[in-house]
């Protein structure tokens, strides 16, 4: 793996301004610290005995759009190799998919519904992974555009210069290095999403988001 990584030693990505959704992230653990209540509602699954389901509210104001519907469908379409079922309506702003045996719905207002979890920590882990997956579709407070446009600097407001990142120093860097060697965009996108989901911190994960513009059109 060492040799493969050495072929893509450095990536140049934007440095994002304070307040940009790519700086803030959608980390469930951080949201739970800020808003202890009204974030996570856990109930038994109606369809499967012994399993849990949860509603997770990423936004405080469910009347407002939290995700951009078009971007939501586009990015999940690129991640869909990892799903066993997938449908998305950009008009309705609803995505539904089955991922690692969990049934997931994402709504434009920032609500996630997660079904068939085994326990509370499974819910939290799944919610965190899902929020990383849909991060690029979240609307940014700075430019009011989806994060994907901040990542590609298309919004024109969220980047303050560039930074060089050494891929092999990132904790899940081998997934990114692998993605960059693949010719097939769909497969490459799958590995970029794995990197985004499996990176331990949002600061590492954002490197993958910064590359998504190349894979999501
Ligand atoms: Zn932004
Ligand atoms: Zn922006």
pTM check: above 0.85 = yes
Domains of the chain: 1-25+144-217 (no CATH), 26-137 (3.30.310.10)
Residue 5 scores a pLDDT above 50: no
pLDDT in tens, 73-83: 999 999 998 89
Band of pLDDT at residue 189, cut at 50, 70 and 90: very high
The mean-pLDDT minimum among 38-47, 55-64, 150-159, 190-199 falls in 38-47
Band of pLDDT at residue 32, cut at 50, 70 and 90: confident
Contact (Cβ atoms closer than 8 angstroms) between residue 114 and residue 54: yes
Distance 141 CA to ligand 2 centre (A): 8
Distance 203 CA to ligand 1 centre (A): 14
pLDDT value at position 216?
79
Distance 143 CA to ligand 1 centre (A): 6
Is residue 197 left, alpha or beta, with left meaning phi > 0 and alpha meaning psi from -120 to 50? alpha
pLDDT, mean of residues 204-214: 92
Distance 147 CA to ligand 1 centre (A): 6
pLDDT, mean of residues 37-50: 81
The pocket of ion ligand 2, defined by CB under 5 A, consists of: 140, 143, 150, 155, 157-158
Contact (Cβ atoms closer than 8 angstroms) between residue 111 and residue 57: yes
Nearest ligand, measured from the Cα of 149: 2
Contact (Cβ atoms closer than 8 angstroms) between residue 182 and residue 30: no
Nearest ligand, measured from the Cα of 156: 2
Nearest ligand, measured from the Cα of 21: 1
Compute the mean pLDDT over every residue in the chain, rounded to the nearest whole number. Answer: 91
pLDDT, mean of residues 166-185: 92
pLDDT value at position 1?
46
């Amino acid at each position: 793996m060492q040799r493969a990584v050495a072929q893509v030693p450095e990536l140049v990505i934007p440095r994002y301004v304070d307040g940009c959704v790519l700086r803030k992230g959608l980390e469930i653990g951080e949201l739970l610290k800020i808003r202890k209540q009204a974030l996570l509602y856990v109930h038994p699954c109606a369809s499967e005995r012994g399993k849990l389901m949860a509603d997770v509210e990423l936004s405080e104001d469910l009347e407002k759009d939290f995700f951009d519907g078009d971007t939501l469908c586009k990015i999940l379409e690129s991640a869909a190799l990892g799903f066993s079922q997938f449908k998305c309506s950009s008009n309705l702003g609803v995505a539904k998919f089955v991922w690692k045996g969990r049934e997931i719905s994402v709504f434009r207002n920032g609500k996630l519904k997660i079904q068939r979890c085994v326990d509370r920590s499974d819910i939290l882990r799944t919610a965190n992974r899902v929020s990383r997956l849909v991060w690029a579709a979240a609307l940014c407070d700075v430019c009011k555009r989806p994060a994907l446009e901040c990542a590609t600097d298309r919004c024109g407001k969220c980047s303050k210069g560039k930074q060089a990142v050494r891929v092999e120093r990132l904790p899940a860097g081998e997934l990114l290095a692998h993605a960059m060697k693949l010719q097939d965009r769909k497969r490459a996108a799958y590995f970029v999403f794995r990197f985004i989901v499996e990176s331990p911190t949002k600061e590492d994960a954002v490197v993958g988001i910064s590359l998504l513009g190349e894979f999501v059109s």
